[in-house]
Amino acid sequence: MDSRLGLLATLLSLTLLSACSMDQMLVRASLPMIEGGVTALNTETDLELAEDSIPTNIELLEGMITIDPTNEELHTYAAQAYYGLAYGFNEDYKPVRAGKFYVRGLKHGLAALQEKGMENALNGSLEKLQKELQSMDEDDLGALFWTASNWAKWIDMNRDKPEGIAQLPRATALMQRVLEIDDTYYHGGAHMYFGVYYGARSPMFGGDFKKARYHFDRAREITDGKLLVPDLLQAQYLARQEFDLEDFHNRLTRIIEAPDDLYPELGLLNAVTKRKARLLLNKEQKWF
């Protein structure tokens, strides 16, 4: 009797393991479809349609992660999705909600990095983190980039919190590694990061306007000037810091007047940038 029960328990365990394995196999087989969905969404220029679709895609990703929680690609996609939802559709109107989404994106990014063997992104010394980052290569770019992006945006939205500012060197170390591996990754996104990093602060507090201009110029060079975000960020951070009203106004005006089909493969981001440029222009008298 005992032996039969033991056999039954073994068979049941094998069945459950097989079912779990099959679900994970189905999830991993769906990854190319997710990539295709991301590509399609990036071309969408109807902001309302895009905003409606992103939460559904996030719920799908979260469900897949529940089935396959150690899948670094899924966590990276989720980090990217939360960043897009926060930056594109919540930051300007619902900043508290955006901050929560950036935190969710950060958690997924950190989970992806942990699956890749990184242990010191949150814990341990900055020196240990920088040493650990040297083992990261091209296969790790997505996890590094989206983790740093969510992290930095959350910090930017919590400048009044010392614990947030204290984390900036860690986020910056991740993005520095992206720059070292491939400075063209995600359309020069690391250069945009450092354009803001050096341009948003006065030289007294670590800013460097010359370096900021270099990074913004390099980002424009990588995309042949077709991506509008570098100009938006340069106006929002560097021109404002330099108190250059003319540069601020001209950059934002050029963004608004740019053709809607300037960069079809990133039509969504350019559409979001145009909307943000209009909002920033409304702040011109307040800021200058």
37 Cβ contact partners less than 8 Å away, ≥ 6 residues apart? 57
The residue segments making up the domain with residue 162 are: 33-176
For residue 12, being part of any structural domain is answered with no
CATH of the domain at 163: 1.25.40.920
> How many angstroms separate the CA atoms of 271 and 153, rounded?
20
> How many angstroms separate the CA atoms of 237 and 201, rounded?
8
For residue 27, being part of any structural domain is answered with no
For residue 10, being part of any structural domain is answered with no
Select from 144, 176, 208 the last residue of a domain.
176
| Centroid of chain to Cα 175 | 11
Q: Are 108 and 78 in contact (CB under 8 A)?
A: yes
Write a three-state SS string for 228-284.
Answer: CHHHHHHHHHHHHHCCCHHHHHHHHHHHHHCCCCCCHHHHHHHHHHHHHHHHHHCCH
End-to-end CA distance of the chain: 85
Structural domain count of the chain: 2
Question: Do 167 and 195 share a domain, yes or no?
Answer: no
Question: Do 149 and 187 share a domain, yes or no?
Answer: no
For residue 26, being part of any structural domain is answered with no
Question: Do 125 and 224 share a domain, yes or no?
Answer: no
- Per-residue pLDDT of the chain in tens (288 residues, 90 and over written 9): 455 555 444 434 444 444 567 777 777 777 777 888 889 999 999 999 999 999 999 999 999 899 999 999 999 999 999 999 999 999 999 999 999 999 999 999 999 999 988 876 777 788 889 999 999 999 999 999 999 999 999 999 988 888 878 899 999 999 999 999 999 999 999 999 999 999 999 999 999 999 999 999 999 999 999 999 999 999 999 999 999 999 999 999 999 999 999 999 999 999 999 999 999 999 999 999
> How many angstroms separate the CA atoms of 3 and 14, rounded?
17
Instruction: Give this prediction's pTM.
Output: 0.90
In 94-239, at which residue ranges do the beta strands (DSSP E only) sit? none
